[in-house]
Amino acid sequence: MRTLNSGILLVNKEPGMTSRKVGNLVGKKFNVKKVGHLGTLDPFATGLLIIALNEGTKVLPFLEDDDKTYVAVFKLGLLTSTLDPEGEVIKEETIEPFNELKIRETLEHFVGEVTQVPPLTSAIRVDGKRLYEYARKGESVEIPPRTVTIKNLRLISYIHPFIEIEATVSKGTYIRTLGEDIGQKLKTHATTVSLKRTRHGNLDLKDAKVLDDLTIEDLIDPSAALSFFPKYKLDDRGIVDVRNGRQVKVDAKEEIIQIVDDNGVLHALCRKNGTFYQPFKGFNL
């Protein structure tokens, strides 16, 4: 049975809501029960949030490893329990302004592979439990460091004690942690007081809308969202084979391809298997 209203939406998330809350409101607005989101934004954060509806949720795993770009403001001299404005102030000190060249040199230090210790309020799992669950119960836990990649780190402005930066980062990077690490390098602290995601892979904030302005016409269909996989058209018999999980012969060379019908409707993703292509992800569109 075909599923209507399937695809992804680019939401310009406003402050004050969790990513899950945004997803719930989108589902309610369009009367859709199957809703997912990609790349969680904290309640204080804003910007690009990818929301998937129905069959569009099958697209999300293919986007989750994409780089992300953020614009953030760090306040030097401030340390909160969560490294963001929602936490309790642990320490706040007045510090002398830095030479802007010093700020730029410090940022350059973090470009490339860096080791981060995720904040205790993050959602990653340690020993089967999310870190924020330990934090809520006041339990201590050893957090394993992780290696992430800062692809680009650019100073937008420095108006003491605020540093505004743009960062393009790999999956798993915590901007809050990056801010505090920059503060530590400057021999102080730094808390992220503003955070906006402007890009996720090839998807851009300029194409997103706030929740109230979204319409069903803004849905990006799964095939378009997976445009990095080339499309190949099969006749009706080939479509039946694909939908039944059978291998098909396709004149293609790519590792993964989209199989579409004469109307351009996506039916499956297929992976190369010798001289054939094997369906591994089906779509009911």
* Residues noted as catalytic: 42
How is residue 110 written in tokens? 């973090």
Residue 51: CB atoms within 10 Å: 29
Comparing CA positions, the residue from 149, 123, 155 lying closest to residue 136 is: 123
What is the sign of the dihedral through the CA atoms of 116, 120, 123 and 124?
positive
What are the residues whose beta carbons fall under 8 Å from the beta carbon of 280, sequence distance 6 or more? Answer: 268, 269, 270, 271
What is the sign of the dihedral through the CA atoms of 126, 128, 131 and 137?
negative
| Residue 178 CB burial class (10 angstroms; 0-12, 13-18, ≥19) | buried
Bridging pattern class, strands 78-80 and 89-92:
antiparallel
Cα(11)–Cα(40) distance, integer angstroms: 12
Residue 148: CB atoms within 10 Å: 19
What is the sign of the dihedral through the CA atoms of 67, 71, 77 and 78?
negative
Provide the b/e sequence for 187-220 (b: ≥16 CB within 10 Å). ebbbbbbbbbbbbbbebebeebeebeebeeeebb
Could you tell me which residues are beta bridge partners of residue 260? Answer: 233, 266
